[in-house]
């Protein structure tokens, strides 16, 4: 385990600890002090606890999106790459059509179907939002996987070998490259959710992410409501990218 993974583990361990270990609350919007190093939130909760919970919810959202994107992209790409012919060309046209769609406007059009507009934000179910984000992010990955499979699969041109066996061999071929997509997909989920939050205020109060905290801070001029969440979010993404670089080496 290198220094990057140790740092990331410590970061997540800190978030887990202060998500479940509740520090004393205080008056709403109390400025940072010795008793409250990061101040208090709108409801008086200690901002250390609030930020820790937001870190875990942010990671959870990214993980759910990654599972969906990688699962769909890998399956679709392997099946298309295994055929490596007219079927693959047709499947890639479908995949490219999904990629060409303006993602954030499309997501907003879908999210509005199950969300509830509030005064300052759009209340959208956390899990349904992760689902629709994941369902719109797999297509680019599927093309890259299909190209790798079609190029590297030694059984692609052998018609007498059953299709199921070609697919099985293809899964073995792309196993080594799958890890290249898992962590970037986590970042993709976090980034898209941030865009939805910044543009339209999409969020779920029951699962407050770091983006949710940044959105709520727009109603107030207290710096401790937005600077710590912004810092924690930047640190989270930096650590994820560093871990990704280490994993794909």
Give the global pTM. 0.86
Per-residue pLDDT for the chain (249 aa), expressed as one digit of tens each? 588 889 999 999 999 999 999 999 999 999 999 999 999 998 899 999 999 999 999 999 999 999 999 999 988 888 888 777 778 888 888 998 888 889 989 999 999 999 988 877 889 999 999 999 999 999 888 888 888 777 765 555 545 445 565 555 556 666 666 777 888 889 889 989 988 888 888 989 899 898 888 877 777 788 999 899 989 988 998 898 888 777 666
Report how far residue 4's alpha carbon sits from residue 66's, in angstroms, rounded to the nearest whole number.
21
Report how far residue 89's alpha carbon sits from residue 99's, in angstroms, rounded to the nearest whole number.
15
Determine the 3-state secondary structure of 123 from DSSP: strand
Are the beta carbons of 72 and 142 closer than 8 angstroms? yes
Can you state the angle between helices 86-100 and 139-152, rounded to 10 degrees? Answer: 160
- Cα dihedral value 192, 196, 202, 204, nearest 10: 10
Residues 69-127 pLDDT 10s: 999 998 888 888 877 777 888 888 899 888 888 998 999 999 999 998 887 788 999 99
Residues 72-82 pLDDT 10s: 998 888 888 87
Are the beta carbons of 68 and 130 closer than 8 angstroms? yes
């Amino acid at each position: 385990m290198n220094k990057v993974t140790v740092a990331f583990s410590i970061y997540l361990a800190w978030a887990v600890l202060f998500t479940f270990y509740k520090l004393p609350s205080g008056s709403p919007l109390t400025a940072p002090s010795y008793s409250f190093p990061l101040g208090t939130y709108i409801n008086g909760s200690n901002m250390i606890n609030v930020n820790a919970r937001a870190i875990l919810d942010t990671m959870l959202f990214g993980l759910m999106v990654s599972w969906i994107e990688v699962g769909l992209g890998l399956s679709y790409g392997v099946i298309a790459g295994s055929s490596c012919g007219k079927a693959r060309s047709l499947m890639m046209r479908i995949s490219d059509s999904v990629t060409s769609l303006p993602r954030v406007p499309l997501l907003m059009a879908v999210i509005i179907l199950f969300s509830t507009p509030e005064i300052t934000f759009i209340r959208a179910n956390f899990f349904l939002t992760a689902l629709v984000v994941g369902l719109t992010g797999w297509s680019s990955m599927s093309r890259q996987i299909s190209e790798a499979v079609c190029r590297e699969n030694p059984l692609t041109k052998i018609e007498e070998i059953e299709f199921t066996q070609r697919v099985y061999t293809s899964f073995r071929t792309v196993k080594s490259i799958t890890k290249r997509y898992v962590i970037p997909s986590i970042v993709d989920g976090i980034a898209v959710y941030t865009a939805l939050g910044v543009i339209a205020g999409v969020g779920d109060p029951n699962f407050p992410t770091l983006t949710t905290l940044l959105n709520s801070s727009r109603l107030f001029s207290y710096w401790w409501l937005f600077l710590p969440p912004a810092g924690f979010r930047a640190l989270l993404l930096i650590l994820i990218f560093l871990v990704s670089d280490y994993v794909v080496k």
